Amino acid sequence: MTVQGAIRDGSETMVLQGYLDSLAMIERLHRLLLDVIKDEFERLAVDEINPVQALLLFNIAEHEVTAGELKSRGYYQGSNVSYNLKKLVEMGYMHHQRSDVDRRSVRVKLTDKGRALRAQIADLFRRHAGILAVKAGISVAGLEDVNLYLRRLERFWGEQIRYIY
């Protein structure tokens, strides 16, 4: 349906409410994910790293990236990427090395300590995946549908930034 068609048939209020509900849900889910990771860290007695930094480690995995690539590849969504990288290097979770070609550019990768913590986070996510259908009633097909719509929303927002619409 076109934007004009939605306005003509009076459903723009419904679309707006659904959109606002989705925005609020996405924000709540992200905060809740951070709380889930924090709770797991409390059980594991991990107290030197925060959930945002943990997600950064999880998303980098075995890749070697620059700070700029973290956002462009979708490994890091927040602000203060330099601060979080610096803290992870200081705590021994990541190595960093200046590029020989461009001395301003720093490449980072996980240390053994970083990989060990990443494995604990991966185990948490694996446990969750194993009980999603039983406890939350979420099937593989349901997850595929959610991901399809979230990718469409991501593409739409990306197009808004590039002024396509």
- Amino acid identity of residue 105, one-letter, is S
Domain assignments of the chain as residue spans, ordered by start: 48-160
48-160 in CATH: which number?
Answer: 1.10.10.10
Distance, CA of 75 to CA of 150 (rounded, Å): 17
For 42-93, the pLDDT digits (tens) are 999 999 999 999 999 999 999 998 877 887 777 777 678 888 888 999 999 9
Give the largest Cα separation in the chain, rounded: 60
| pLDDT value at 136 more than 80 | yes
pLDDT computed for residue 2 by the predictor: 54
